[in-house]
Structure 1
């Protein structure tokens, strides 16, 4: 940030970092909570039963649910730090797409609605990534001359 940076530019960068941090911490805690709650195996086994009436193969559901906490935790760390932000947001968006798919197969429309808010959040953060001035990506970005 330069001393000549206008207030609206600074406001956009501050708004972006607060929005990015909110999503990143949310995901990070989602993943960590599954580690320290019932454990990854407990979480995946308990949640897999909710998909019994769907056409998804049980083994695929269990494998996805086993990997999910790790993916949430890693993507959450990357988004929180603002590291590889473009790819972390893209991966997070694809992850929420997979969750929406499974939840829609269960006909759990209230949860799909909540997940759509996450999809919009990924969209907005990715769309406005040029406002990402407070991140590791910005720190390591070569200075423009």
Structure 2
């Protein structure tokens, strides 16, 4: 594989990796506050409060791992699937409160991750040897 392909793939995944990493990093120090915010935000949802609260405590760790692993090029394919599940759950949660504007962001993240999955076979021999 030519080096420019590897480098291009790195730069294609860089914004997504940093976005996910950043989300996790800013939420972890204020985990309880983030959880309280999410529970309040989802009050109008039919989802049980305990599910929303449990999910809110897991989200920052998943975001951090997805971002860090993408940045480091570790387990790229499985971590992209984890990211896709996360954004699908975000989209589903937003539909339960009719927060249609946020779903656009989740769809874009999902499309971005899918693009990275589709491009991955072309850079399989990158730094993940």
TM-score in same-fold range (> 0.5): yes
CA–CA distance in 2 between the matches of 1:134 and 1:19? 16
| Equivalent residue, structure 2, for 1:92 | 83
User: Residue 35 of structure 1 contacts residue 69 of structure 1 at CA under 8 Å; is this kept in 2?
Assistant: yes
Does the CA-based 8 Å contact 1:28-1:76 persist in structure 2? yes
- The equivalent of 1:82 in structure 2 is 73
Q: Rg: which structure is higher? A: 1
- TM superposition score normalised by structure 1: 0.82
Quickly say closer, same or farther: Cα 1:49–1:87, change in 2 above 3 A: same
Once residues 77 and 25 of structure 2 are traced to their aligned partners in structure 1, the CA distance between those partners, rounded to angstroms, is 22
Structure 2 counterpart SS, 1:48: helix
TM-score with structure 2 length normalisation? 0.92
- What 5-or-longer segments of structure 2 have no aligned partner? none
Q: Hey, what does 2:14 align to over in structure 1?
A: 21
Q: Does 1:115 align with 2:106?
A: yes
Distance (whole Å) between structure 2 residues aligned to residue 80 and residue 73 of structure 1: 11
Alpha-carbon separation, structure 2, partners of 1:12 and 1:136: 12
Q: Which runs of 5+ in 1 are unaligned?
A: 141-145
Partner of 1:143: none
How far is 1:65 from its partner?
Answer: 0.6
RMSD: 1.6
**Deviations 1:43-68 (CA, angstroms, capped at 9, x unpaired):** 01112111111110000000001110
SS at 2:28 equivalent: helix
Q: Counterparts of 2:105 and 2:43 in 1: how far apart (Å)? A: 22
- Of residues 51, 55, 58 in structure 1, which corresponds to 2:49? 58
Structure 1 residue 135 displacement after superposition: 4.8
Please state how far the C-alpha of 1:11 moved relative to its aligned partner.
Answer: 4.2
